[in-house]
Amino acid sequence: MDPWQSIDELIVKRRILPAMQAIREVEECGLQRAIEVFDERSEFLRRTRPDDFAVSREEHGQRVHR
């Protein structure tokens, strides 16, 4: 499977930390860039696969820091 397909699945399933780790590995980047890529990819997926998300855009990032 293409690494981006796996990352996309992690994003839509709200598995944020594993998605960020995978992005850092694929992009060979630091945390700040991984956050930017995650946000860009999330927005792309929200436009192209809106029905795959179980939670709203507002709920998607909640409870990450707890």
Q: Could you read off the pLDDT of 25-51 as tens digits, one per residue?
A: 999 999 999 999 999 999 999 999 999
Which phi and psi angles does 21 have, rounded to 5°? -65, -45
- Name the amino acid, one letter, at 48: T
Q: What gap in Å lies between CA 51 and CA 63, rounded to an integer?
A: 22
At 34, phi and psi to the nearest 5?
A: -60, -40
Q: 56 pLDDT band (50/70/90 cuts)?
A: low
How much is the mean pLDDT over the chain?
Answer: 88
Per-domain residue ranges of the chain: 3-51
